[in-house]
Structure 1
Amino acid sequence: FRIPLNDGNAIPALGLGTFLGFDENGQKPVEAHEVEYPVTWALQAGYRMLDTAAAYKNEDQVGAGVRASGVPRENVFVVTKLPSHEARDVLSSLRHSLSRLNMTYVDLYLIHSTVTFKPDHSGFDFDIDYVDTWKAMEEAKKLGLAKSIGIS
């Protein structure tokens, strides 16, 4: 079952999230194959949507899992997310994500959060212009790097 998006594309109703969470030291480090194998198994079991993000530090394993699964890339809906909110970072961040995923496009590229922190995480950054960020997201779509765009 797929849910239509407002741009004519459709997203599978069920997907596999790949964030591993936190441990006592903060964000849990990603061990070898810890994400790759579950991605492979999920796709072989019939999943067709994968959710990752640059912040999860596992895009390389998500891409490896897709390739190992034997499921053609065009049959897998891949979501990843912008790690910052700066318009100037949209295209370079997406290209880095695509490199880690070893893919030429993602199906959905999201602004990861509507809350922006200062680079040193000392509080909220109210100087971000989301209109400029959104325009950069639209450019990513226009370039074919993302089939759909949105906000997480």
Structure 2
Amino acid sequence: MFPGPNAKNPGISQHQRDFTHAVVKEFQSLRGTWVLTSAEKSGKKITTEELFLASAVQFQFTDSTRADTSKRCDIYNIEFDPVSNPKRLLAAVTGGEIKGQKMLCIYSLKNDTLTIHISHNQKKYPVDFSTRENDGYVLLTLIRQK
């Protein structure tokens, strides 16, 4: 991530300033709590239990972990690339049961529906919003909790 543009960083290019602004704007549009409505893996519908995933996801600025550790809580450092097509994010797991793993994702945000296609511990980003038999990719659809 590039440092934010300001008078103290005159060496930052306009491209870096624009990219940083796009990332901040994108994070603001994703900020909040999202509830899982459907999940698919390798071309088949799956449940959250099969996915080992909580039924809600939160995007928030924080330096602390969740107080309730009685439930699974993985902590991610997320890098956005909102200018790629499709939009990309890299989720590096920095805490929890799968610490150290990385997820290469593409995502789409339309109104209050967020679709994330996840490539878990693989080397390539997904190219579209579908999964295929035995590809190991996960497709999540979430809605914004109001």
Q: TM-score, normalised by structure 1?
A: 0.30
**Structure with higher helix content:** 1
**Structure with higher strand content:** 2
Larger Rg: 2
Larger RCO (alpha carbons 8 Å, 6+ apart): 2
